[in-house]
């Protein structure tokens, strides 16, 4: 039985279960009654009226963030947020296993908000129903619709393109211009990539499915595998290294790694890897380059949801967007925010406007296709 308010009553086993939907969390109580069959609407109304009205507790001036992003990358934003709002941000960095941790903590989780890279990680948490929808004009204004969940469950905050790094010496400009061409026999034994099961490659294949359908996507994945120079291994930077060492001529990698290698003072050898390679923005199905997001969401069991929304909004505004561009070498989601000079130097490209939510939807199928074509074997 549903009462058309923010509250829900269920009669089960002669007990009333009362859920306070407004708070979407820990408020649950039950009241035993003699016989459920005798209970009428009037009684339900009476019970509702007799329940104490509890004013929502004021949120403390803090917000707890679980982050896949490195502290160095996000600290400057968060410090500025605290300076402007007085809200302290407590960060827990999770290299791996954020979903498992949230599941284990359940409603007792301290996390108000999650910050991740790649839609794969964000949608896994969304699919486990651990996030709550947010309605915000600021977010809707700043973030194009294809970079956020249609129901407001997650929001993209920066964009990275999954591109080709090609050998400056062995691949001529214009010689490869699309993802489709990766299956051309001319590239036999010349392509390098990390694991086909890594979230970045799963999302890329999911975009191919969304564009071309399952059968074509499977053919494509098998064709790329056929052209690999070696078993998939290492991270994206390791593929640039392989090009510099002559192991392969074309690699699949995310844009910001080119900038991270080019500017790497701690490991100058990475500058050599970058210097040996050039960024190519490939086209997919005539719709532009496959892009992914780093994004954020408010948790289902957030204890400081209003503060979390404030932080989410702050991350979509000019100050933080400029930092995504300059510190993380990503593409801002907000229109009009200038690119970092180094990133701009790779040239203009057409980012695909395929909804990231569609990419998310096809990820499980993409993972199965990678297995079917034995991409990693
Ligand atoms: Fe990455």
pLDDT tens-place string over residues 227-270: 999 999 999 999 999 999 999 999 999 999 999 999 999 999 99
Separation of CA 236 and ligand 1 centre (Å): 8
Cα(48) to ligand 1 centroid in Å equals: 51
Ligand 1: distance of its center to the CA of 219 in Å? 26
- pLDDT score at 58: 77
Tell me whether the CATH fold assigned to 62-159+291-337 matches the one assigned to 161-290+361-372.
yes
Q: pTM, whole model, 2 decimals?
A: 0.82
DSSP class of residue 95 equals: S
Contact 263/243 with Cβ under 8 angstroms?
no
Rounded distance between C-alpha atoms, residue 152 and residue 3, angstroms: 25
pLDDT tens by residue, 159-210: 999 999 999 999 999 999 999 999 999 999 999 999 999 999 999 999 999 9
Architecture of domain 62-159+291-337: 3-Layer(aba) Sandwich (3.40)
Tell me if 60 sits within 8 A of 304, measured CB to CB.
yes
Confidence class for position 22, pLDDT limits 50, 70, 90: very low
* Helix, strand or coil, per DSSP, at residue 31: strand
Q: In angstroms, what is the span from residue 78 Cα to ligand 1's centroid?
A: 20
Of 274, 349, 330, the closest CA to residue 117 belongs to 330
Q: What is the pLDDT of residue 309?
A: 98
Pairing of strands 191-192, 88-93: unpaired
Sequence ranges of the domains in the chain = 7-50, 62-159+291-337, 161-290+361-372
CATH architecture of 161-290+361-372: 3-Layer(aba) Sandwich (3.40)
Q: Output the CA 163–ligand 1 centroid distance in Å.
A: 13
Q: In whole angstroms, what is the distance from residue 357 CA to residue 324 CA?
A: 22
Average pLDDT for 35-50: 39
| 117 CA to centre of ligand 1 in angstroms | 7
283 vs 70, which has greater pLDDT?
283
Ligand 1 centre and the CA of 193: distance in Å?
13
**C-alpha 254 to ligand 1 mean position (Å):** 7
């Amino acid at each position: 039985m549903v009462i058309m308010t923010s509250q829900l009553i269920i009669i089960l086993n002669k007990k009333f279960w009362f859920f306070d939907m407004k708070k979407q969390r820990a408020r649950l109580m039950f009241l035993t009654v003699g016989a459920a069959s005798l209970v009428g609407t009037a009684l339900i109304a009476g019970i509702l009226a007799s329940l104490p009205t509890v004013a929502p507790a004021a949120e403390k001036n803090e917000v707890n963030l679980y982050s896949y992003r490195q502290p160095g990358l996000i600290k400057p934003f968060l410090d500025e947020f605290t300076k402007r709002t007085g809200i302290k941000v407590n960060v827990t960095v999770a290299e791996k296993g954020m979903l498992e941790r949230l599941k284990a903590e359940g409603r007792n989780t301290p996390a108000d908000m999650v910050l991740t890279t790649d839609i794969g990680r964000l949608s896994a948490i969304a699919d486990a129903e651990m996030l709550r929808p947010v309605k915000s004009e600021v977010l809707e204004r700043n973030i194009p619709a294809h970079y956020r969940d249609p129901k407001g469950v997650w929001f993209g905050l920066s964009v990275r393109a999954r591109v080709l790094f090609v050998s400056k010496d062995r691949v001529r400009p214009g010689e490869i211009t699309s993802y489709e061409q990766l299956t051309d026999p001319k590239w036999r034994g010349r392509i390098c990539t990390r694991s086909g099961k890594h979230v970045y490659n799963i999302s890329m294949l999911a975009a191919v499915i969304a564009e071309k359908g399952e059968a074509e996507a499977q053919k494509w994945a098998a064709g790329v595998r056929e052209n690999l120079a070696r078993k998939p291994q290492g991270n994206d930077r390791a593929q640039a290294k392989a090009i510099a060492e002559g192991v392969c001529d074309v690699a699949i990698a995310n844009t910001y790694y080119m900038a991270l290698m080019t500017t790497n003072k701690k490991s100058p050898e990475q500058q050599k890897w970058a210097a040996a390679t050039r960024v190519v923005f490939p086209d997919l199905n005539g719709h532009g380059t496959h892009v992914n997001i780093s994004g954020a969401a408010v948790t289902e069991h957030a204890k400081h949801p209003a503060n979390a929304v404030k932080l989410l909004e702050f991350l979509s505004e000019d100050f933080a967007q400029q930092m995504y561009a300059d510190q993380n070498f990503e593409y801002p989601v907000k229109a009009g925010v200038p690119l970092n000079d180094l990133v701009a130097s790779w040239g203009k490209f057409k980012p695909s406007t395929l909804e990231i939510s569609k990419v998310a939807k096809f990820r499980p199928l993409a993972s199965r296709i990678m297995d079917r074509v034995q991409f990693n074997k």
